[in-house]
Amino acid sequence: MQNKSTLAEIENRFDHDVRRFSNLETGQLTTLDSSFNMELMAQGIAKYYPQLSSVLDIGCGAGNYDVKLLQYTSPMHMTLSDLSMPMLLKAQERVEALNTAGTTKIVKGDFRDLSVGEETFDVIMATAVLHHLRDDADWETSFSNFYRWLKPGGSIWIFDLVKQATPSLQQLIYDDRYGRYLTSLKDEKYRDEVFAYIEKEDSPRPLMYQLDLLRHVGFKEVDILHKNLCFASYVAFK
């Protein structure tokens, strides 16, 4: 893990990539089924919480998931957190335009250092952010915090890069199948560039590892929403 990107390096990359992360129609093209998962999670949250009042989005980026959620339910108290201030400002601008009768708060920094009260939120969203966690302690502490921050009956909604626990399946799904998809977006050079920054910046864990850990820290019900190759969305209820 010592050769992975530092938080400062990750922050710098996202500071200069706001436009790409502001596309509500496509989401991130390198992320399989991004727009589909935005719709699925927004609809799922709105259906489960018809009186939704408080949401925390960690690693909110430019606010795509928040904007999508506000198309189905509003107003609410929204807290947006991200390493990148340019991302946060763009997210705030987009969210406040829709959440006019609610409140919008932005918090810059590492979500692991967030200071929020226990049982504060109905919903936490974590999309394309947890793959930046590193060791087991990092993962367990983060998931324990999510549990503490949620109200009884609250839930964490996650969409992220995952890996297979079985090496041969990881090669098939990630190197072969996902690699073929990336090549189709542009060419083999582009595929190699994406693989290189994933290797440098990310440290995803298997889906089952994460589902088991959610139960371990106290979540009573865990459900898979969608999985396509090396990307998955899932939810856990307190």
Q: In this model, does residue 37 exceed pLDDT 90?
A: yes
Give the C-alpha separation, 218 to 133, whole Å: 20
Average pLDDT, the chain: 91
How far is residue 235 from each of residues 18, 29, 48, 170, measured CA to CA in Å?
Answer: 27, 23, 12, 23
pLDDT digits (tens, 9 = 90+) for 63-119: 999 999 999 998 999 999 998 899 899 999 999 999 999 999 999 999 988 988 899
pLDDT at 49 over 70: yes
- pLDDT of 121-140, one tens digit each? 999 999 999 998 989 999 99
Contact 156, 124 (CB under 8 A): yes
Query: For residue 4, is pLDDT > 90?
Result: no
* Domains, the chain, ordered by start: 7-165+204-237 (3.40.50.150)
Predicted confidence at residue 29, as pLDDT, reads: 78
